[in-house]
Amino acid sequence: MAQVADTAQKYMGGGVLRKEDPELLTGRARYIDDISMPGMLWVGIVRSPFAHATINTVDTSRAANLPGVRAAYSGADLASEWADGLPCAWPVTEDIKIPKHWPVAQDKARFAGDPVAVVVAETRAQAADATEAVDVDYDPLDVVIDMEAALGDGATKVHDEFDSNSCYVWNLEVGDVDDVFNNAAVVVKERYYHPRLIPNAIEPRGVVCQPNLPQGEFILYSATQVPHILKTTLALTLGMPEQKLRVIAPEVGGGFGSKLNVYAEEAICVAVGRRLGMPVKWIEERSEGYLATIHGRDVIQEMEVAADSDGKLAGVRANLKADMGAYLQLVTPGIPILGAFLYHGVYDCQAYSFTCTGVFTNKTPTDAYRGAGRPEATYAVERIMDSLARKLEKDPIEIRRLNFIEPFNEAREVASGLSFDSGNYEASLDKALEAFGYDEMRAEQQRRRDSGDTKQLGIGISTYIEMCGLAPSQVLGSLRYAAGGWDAATIRCHPTGKVTVVTGTSPHGQGHVTSWSQIVADELGVAFEDVEVLHGDTAISPLGMDTYGSRSLSVGGIALHYAADKIITKAKTIAAHELEVSEEDLEYDGGIFSVKGAPDKSKTVAEIAFSAWTAHNLPEGTEPGLEATYVFDPPNFTFPSGAHLCAVEVDTETGMTRVEKYVAVDDCGNVINPAIVEGQVHGGIAQGIAEAMYEEAVYDDNGVLMTSSMASYRVPSAAELPSFQTDRTETPSTTNPLGVKGIGEAGTIAAPPAVVNATLDALAPMGVYHMDMPVSPERVWAAIRNARGQEVESRGKDTTAAGSGLGSADTPGGDA
Amino acid sequence: MIPASFEYERADSSDHALELLDRHGEEAKLLAGGHSLLPMMRLRLATPAVLIDVGRLTDLSYVRDDGDAIAIGALTCHEDIKDSDVLKQHCGIVAHTAGEVGDPQVRHLGTIGGSIAHGDPASDLPTVMLALDAQFVVRSSGGGRTLAASNFFSGLFETALEPTNLLTEVRVPKLSGGWSYQKFHHRAQDWAIVGVAAVQHNGGAAVALTNMSDVPMRAAGVEQALASGSDAATAATEAAQNTSPPSDPFGSAEYRRDLAKVLTRRALQEAMSS
């Protein structure tokens, strides 16, 4: 194995342009809404306007009589379609409460947006009209919106069948945590609220179901990240033989985790297609997506560190409450667990404790959103490191350097029990500080402080780590995840020398077609243009675990690398046979087998592909054809890291805060395509700044989503963002032979604490030590007023009293 | 995001538009750039039975020096107003503020007439019109009339326009003094959380506020303080007087009142220094 690792790299690491982009950017690529079929009907979903209500009656008669309407169904009408509820594949504890989640609610609606009826019409507009003509009689019930209230005695229950709204409690404890905290010189404890976020992929969700009745087969087209997972789980929900269901993800316009799911509308469209025997289509409206596509984050974190008097960390204790929403979607309970092992960040310590309580509320279910668990952990660690530095009157850079894990090139175990693959945290910080001009920025900050400028400057640091490359299947099993973490690749060498790659990953903007072509072109010595990459169709690519969690390159890409190895191994046998030498006498480089000492005697992989196809002269026992499949199960996660530095300017009169400068030095190991890495970093930082400063899903007391459109839910644009300065260090991963880590989520993980730390750094001289995200102008304004002792009327979560974070338990040996 | 069904009529001329308005009466809405009306229709907050598209009446797209005043055709898009040399020279606040509306796509389709006729208190141009004492030329099949901006905005999305009226022209003065429009918004494309227009004209100062009530409003307290000799900073402390700003996820009423004072001070200082 690993015969190709040293082969000449012509494409890998180079600035290759994305080969899929001309199609994607000019509108020629086929997305879900481009799919149309003869006789196709449109599905419309009637959704509960109430966050919690008993459904008394659903009267579809008025809707059914509208022009073009073919059918209208209540939840009860469709109940016989389901063999089971929608799947939750990550029951994180043995005693977790998993409510039955029917695709269409039958007795109660449990969040505003819960489907309560389905209409089917000849046109999209007719379906939209028909949804308004379904008469549903509700009895509104009390709602629970706030997690802490939901856990209180006598709280209204989201699910009557359970004794409380506590879904699960998950623990991890390493070392004698109490002892470490009781004997520490310094303890800092803070409370952070991580706001609820709406993913906003540029392409809304959509589904087309095509029944193929003579074969009893159904083709489900869906704008999904996970066609393979969808096929298996939906077959169970629908009571359909899995071999009769084929799932196709056409080109997909972004996901950020929101399309890593199995949704009601996917089940509904197959059920309706099955019932009517006609193709049906549903395309999500943006305002509908705000209610019915999963949300992200919504986590309360109590974060605590124990340190010696120099600031050297001894222990970490994190206690989370995570909002599940009204139901458990595919991996809802597991999201906080993806961060559970990272609450010491890139720092050493001896004792480690993590607890998370999952909580049901009458809100849209949460699930994976870019970063998933790791932004929460990174935010908690990087915020509290700044607070520790402030408490000890040290520079935040100094406190980080003091605590960094030393550079390492072999996997090493850390306090939480994980084994980090490789790391050099000093290197990326040094590079970032230089690019940022740290000392000059500090000098400028001091000038503004001294002159009492209304525009103050703040500097924030985030030296982050994350874990990705999901995942070793055994580890997933030990965490009670229902599936494996492997992925698969097939390489098919055609007799003409061209190559088809079949991948189990499911790109939705990442550029796998390009990166996979680079790997195969280098390893098999074929032209980049001659590699075709097929993906996203369970009939073409039967083996796969899809794309999420920055896993595609470090799992699917490695499967491809090993498949190339298998091709070369077989080709070498044939080449040796044809050249009449032993295999040991052959050298391989860049697609050419040559005889050692006689380089003119050689064969290319393309030539061998042809002779393998003709099969006229193969060695004894060799199968004709040159094709190989490899399924790779990674031995470990990968752990990308880096240093992000941010400068913000705060208008202290209005609260307006803007990012003035942003430097990111990321380490994702070896790089296959620098332009793709750069794109991921830019998009990730933008999304992280959005989280830190702009976006928050806000509900009113009745559970109605107030930020229900892009006009009020503030996704920033390029106009709000500075030009990012990016650079890299490269510490190869020890988890895989290409030494690659992952970069899809790094920016989103790193940026929020850098931005908030910068904002607090600007305001600290005014006595503001804590704010929750997003640090919107109003929040900043209110924090300044509070610090000056001016009253601000309470506005729920918007109140950010100065010092409330550096609160009660920050005394040495505090017993919080 | 699918509007309810409606009939669509395209007007070939102002006369044709008036004829269609007479025919369809209150059932109809005029469609210009569509950047306010269409989103409301897509959310089914507006369900007009008929849309009368006046978007192709190119004869109502102009900016002209008209002696004492500048005449702006109601269907002039924000981008053209932003780039108008005549406005930049004689009434720069209008050109500047048009450039603050939405984003480039909105500015290339949205029109000044549409913005004014929509009567949204969060829009920028109505506030500027109020500060300028602008005049609005309105036609109906029975003839024409001219309305003062001060009598035009009557409530949330309500104006003095009758269902059969067509706003054809906006007339603004040639300013003799400085001006400023302070738009405070979180994202470039957002409506103003608060906006303040200040103009100096004929020896006096006018100040008007965006999104501080259900209509654009003059900051009378500020204007009185200035008239009685207060400096900008002192006068600006009166900016929240008699306001009734909304509370929404962008800002509480309390925040908006404080912003109005800060922004008024800044607007006055800029207007007085230019």
Closest Cα in chain B to A782:
B255
B residues 131-170 closer than 8 Å to A (CB) = none
Asked whether residue A84 is assigned to any structural domain, the reply reads: no
Q: Are A714 and B186 in contact (CB under 8 A)?
A: yes
A381: Cβ contacts below 8 Å, ≥ 6 apart: A303, A316, A342, A343, A344, A345, A347, A753
Indicate yes or no: CB of B254 within 8 angstroms of CB of A793. yes
Is residue A615 located within the same domain as residue A692? no
Q: What is the pLDDT, as a whole number, of residue A791?
A: 78
Q: Is the pTM of this model over 0.80?
A: yes
Indicate yes or no: CB of B1 within 8 angstroms of CB of A287. yes
pLDDT at residue A806 greater than cutoff 80: no
Indicate yes or no: CB of A717 within 8 angstroms of CB of B103. yes
Q: Choosing among B103, B107, B186, B252, which should be mutated to test the A contact, i.e. which has the most A CBs within 10 A?
A: B186
Residue A589 lies in domain: 21-28+486-632
d(CA A680, CA A743): 6
Is residue A732 located within the same domain as residue A790? yes
Closest Cα in chain B to A699:
B249
Residue A205 with chain B: CB contacts under 8 Å: none
Q: What is the pLDDT, as a whole number, of residue B5?
A: 92
In chain A, % of residues over pLDDT 90? 94
Residue B153: φ, ψ to 5°: -90, 110
Is residue A730 located within the same domain as residue A760? yes
Is residue A657 located within the same domain as residue A805? yes
pLDDT at residue A799 greater than cutoff 80: no
Q: What is the pLDDT, as a whole number, of residue A790?
A: 85
pLDDT at residue A26 greater than cutoff 70: yes
Pairing of strands A412-413, A419-420: antiparallel
- Of the listed ranges A760-769, A788-797, B248-257, the least confidently predicted one is A788-797
Q: What is the pLDDT, as a whole number, of residue A797?
A: 39
Q: Is B233 on the interface with A (CB under 8 A)?
A: no
Q: What is the mean predicted confidence (pLDDT) over A775-780? A: 97
Buried b (16+ CB within 10 A) or exposed e, A614-631: eeeebeeeeeeebbbbbb
Closest CB to B189 among A698, A717, A795 = A717
Q: What is the pLDDT of residues A383-441, one digit of tens each?
A: 999 999 999 999 999 999 999 999 999 999 999 999 999 999 999 999 999 999 999 99
Q: What is the pLDDT, as a whole number, of residue A130?
A: 98
The secondary structure element, H or E, covering residue A323 is strand A313-325
Residue A128 with chain B: CB contacts under 8 Å: 2
pLDDT at residue B180 greater than cutoff 50: yes
pLDDT at residue B91 greater than cutoff 50: yes
Q: Choosing among A123, A651, A653, which should be mutated to test the B contact, i.e. which has the most B CBs within 10 A?
A: A653
The 10 Å Cβ neighbour count of residue A711 is: 13
Q: What is the pLDDT of residues A708-744, one digit of tens each?
A: 999 999 999 999 999 999 999 999 999 999 999 999 9
Indicate yes or no: CB of A694 within 8 angstroms of CB of B263. no
C-alpha dihedral (A262, A266, A272, A275), degrees to nearest 10: -50
State chain A's mean pLDDT as an integer: 95
Buried b (16+ CB within 10 A) or exposed e, A298-318: bbbbbbbbbbeeebebbbbbb
Q: With CA atoms as reference, report the closest residue to B44 among A444, A132, A738.
A: A132
Helix H segments across A536-651? 558-579, 605-614
Note the ipTM here. Answer: 0.96
For the four alpha carbons of B17, B21, B27 and B29, in that order, the dihedral sign comes to: positive
Q: Which of A599, A632, A665 is the last residue of a domain?
A: A632
Residue A281 with chain B: CB contacts under 8 Å: none
Indicate yes or no: CB of B258 within 8 angstroms of CB of A793. no
Closest Cα in chain B to A716:
B187
Which residue numbers of A have CB closer than 8 Å to B's CBs? 124-125, 128-129, 132, 285-288, 653-654, 656, 694, 696, 698, 706-707, 709, 711-712, 714, 716-717, 719-720, 776-778, 781-782, 792-793, 795, 798
In chain A, % of residues over pLDDT 70? 96
Residue contacts between A and B (CB atoms, under 8 Å) = 66
User: What is the CATH number for A808?
Assistant: 3.30.365.10
Q: Choosing among A781, A785, A786, which should be mutated to test the B contact, i.e. which has the most B CBs within 10 A?
A: A781
Q: What is the pLDDT of residues A156-201, one digit of tens each?
A: 999 999 999 999 999 999 999 999 999 999 999 999 999 999 999 9
Is residue A533 located within the same domain as residue A518? yes
Band (A214; pLDDT cuts 50, 70, 90):
confident
Asked whether residue A3 is assigned to any structural domain, the reply reads: no
Asked whether residue A68 is assigned to any structural domain, the reply reads: no
- Of the listed ranges A39-43, A668-672, A808-812, the least confidently predicted one is A808-812
Q: What is the mean predicted confidence (pLDDT) over A59-84? A: 98
A590: Cβ contacts below 8 Å, ≥ 6 apart: A7, A8, A10, A522, A525
pLDDT at residue A796 greater than cutoff 60: no
Pairing of strands B158-159, B166-173: unpaired
d(CA B213, CA B156): 9
Residues in a beta bridge with B158:
B155
Separation in Å, CA of A479 to nearest CA in chain B: 39
Q: Are A673 and A9 in contact (CB under 8 A)?
A: no
Asked whether residue A171 is assigned to any structural domain, the reply reads: no
Q: What is the pLDDT of residues A734-756, one digit of tens each?
A: 999 999 999 999 999 999 999 99
Residues in a beta bridge with A503:
A489
Q: Choosing among A778, A784, A785, A799, which should be mutated to test the B contact, i.e. which has the most B CBs within 10 A?
A: A778
Residue B255 with chain A: CB contacts under 8 Å: 778, 781-782
d(CA A464, CA A190): 19
B residues 175-204 closer than 8 Å to A (CB) = 184, 186-191, 193
Is residue A559 located within the same domain as residue A654? no
Q: How many domains does chain A have?
A: 2
Q: Which residue matches tokens 């800092």?
A: A188
Asked whether residue A51 is assigned to any structural domain, the reply reads: no
Asked whether residue A655 is assigned to any structural domain, the reply reads: yes
Is residue A600 located within the same domain as residue A679? no
d(CA B84, CA B95): 7
Residue B43 with chain A: CB contacts under 8 Å: 287, 709
Indicate yes or no: CB of A656 within 8 angstroms of CB of B184. yes
Is residue A548 located within the same domain as residue A431? no
Is residue A602 located within the same domain as residue A644? no
- Domains in chain B, CATH or no CATH each: 7-51 (3.30.43.10), 61-173 (3.30.465.10), 179-273 (3.30.390.50)
B residues 85-114 closer than 8 Å to A (CB) = 103
Indicate yes or no: CB of B1 within 8 angstroms of CB of A792. no
Q: What is the pLDDT, as a whole number, of residue A794?
A: 53
Indicate yes or no: CB of A798 within 8 angstroms of CB of B43. no
Q: What is the mean predicted confidence (pLDDT) over B206-210? A: 98
Q: What is the mean predicted confidence (pLDDT) over A508-520? A: 97
Residue A714 with chain B: CB contacts under 8 Å: 186-187, 190
Asked if residue A774 has a cis previous peptide bond (ω within 30° of 0), the answer is yes
Q: Which residue has the higher pLDDT, A791 or A634?
A: A634
Q: Which of A575, A606, A632 is the last residue of a domain?
A: A632
Is residue A698 located within the same domain as residue A584? no
Is residue A553 located within the same domain as residue A665? no
Indicate yes or no: CB of B252 within 8 angstroms of CB of A707. no
Tokens of B196: 């303040």
Q: What is the pLDDT of residues A765-775, one digit of tens each?
A: 999 999 999 99
pLDDT at residue A692 greater than cutoff 90: yes
pLDDT at residue A816 greater than cutoff 60: no
Q: What is the mean predicted confidence (pLDDT) over A506-528? A: 97
Asked whether residue A219 is assigned to any structural domain, the reply reads: no
Q: Which residue matches tokens 């000799």?
A: B229
Separation in Å, CA of B167 to nearest CA in chain A: 27
Q: What is the pLDDT, as a whole number, of residue A8?
A: 60
Is residue A522 located within the same domain as residue A623? yes
Band (B43; pLDDT cuts 50, 70, 90):
confident
Residue A483: φ, ψ to 5°: -125, 175
B residues 42-71 closer than 8 Å to A (CB) = 43-44
Q: What is the pLDDT of residues A357-376, one digit of tens each?
A: 999 999 999 999 999 999 99
Asked whether residue A106 is assigned to any structural domain, the reply reads: no
Q: Is B252 on the interface with A (CB under 8 A)?
A: yes
Q: Which of A588, A606, A632 is the last residue of a domain?
A: A632
